[in-house]
Amino acid sequence: MEPSPFTAGRRSATKLRVSSKFSGFYLSSLFFWVSLGMYATQLPVFLIKSGLTGQEVFGLALLNSSTSAMLYQRVGLKLKSKNPALALMQGYLFRSIGVLLLLLPFNVPYALLISAAGSYVLWGCSWSYISVSSTSLIGRMSSPKEQGSVLATANLINSSGFVLGSLAGGFVASQMDFTLNFALASSMSLLAVVPLFSIIGLSFVSPFSVLPQIRRKN
């Protein structure tokens, strides 16, 4: 008799474990993705309500994507000799500063457009650091057998954090104001740096890292 899909689902779910070795990384990811949900879902709404056109917001989104695309390879090359946890911290700091740009009072023409462009550029820059360094961090800290489970857990946490942040951002922006929402988003991104301090040494010197072997072959 074949097991029902419900039983199989329960059995597979029990295999998802949160390793204590990755607890700092998971907590950091949760903070960041909550921050991202609060920022990314409310930013276009804020910009349009503040007077920008849909075409301008679309252009800013393209600026964000193109910035990430240009930096992916550069970040990957840097990680050959750089601790991925430090690169991840750098990405979180870029994101925090990018959100803060929306809160600065600029008394110049096109102030909102300038601050929004800076925020989108830093968003793209931070994403290249965050995505590449997160993958590198998981690869260095886990064995090949662990990587599937670690990635699955990370994706679950990331998705949950984004949903939570989106809901929180919508509530804060509608019931209070956008300024508070972006201030909280920036704070959450900055807070994401803290749990990474516990894994800096572990992520740089790992028994599963293949980087030393690559250098010897060269």
Look at residue 78 and tell me if it is in a domain: yes
Look at residue 43 and tell me if it is in a domain: yes
Neighbours of 50 (CB within 10 A): 12
CATH of the domain at 110: 1.20.1250.20
* Longest alpha-carbon distance in the chain: 73
Look at residue 216 and tell me if it is in a domain: no
Domain extent, residue 120, equals 29-201
- Place 17 in a pLDDT band, splitting at 50, 70 and 90: low
Candidates 79, 89, 25, 85; CA nearest to 211 is: 79
91-104: average pLDDT: 92
| pTM of the full structure | 0.79
Q: What is the pLDDT of residue 125?
A: 92
Q: What is the pLDDT of residue 211?
A: 36
Dist CA 68 CA 174 (whole Å) = 30
The number of folded domains in the chain is: 1
Exposure string of 84-110, with b = 16+ CB inside 10 Å and e = fewer, is bbbbbbbbbbbbbbbbbbbeeeeeeee
Look at residue 160 and tell me if it is in a domain: yes
Report the first-to-last Cα separation within the chain, whole angstroms: 55
- Place 212 in a pLDDT band, splitting at 50, 70 and 90: very low
Number of H helices, E strands in the chain: 10, 0
Look at residue 95 and tell me if it is in a domain: yes
Look at residue 109 and tell me if it is in a domain: yes
pLDDT at position 10 over 60: no
Look at residue 99 and tell me if it is in a domain: yes
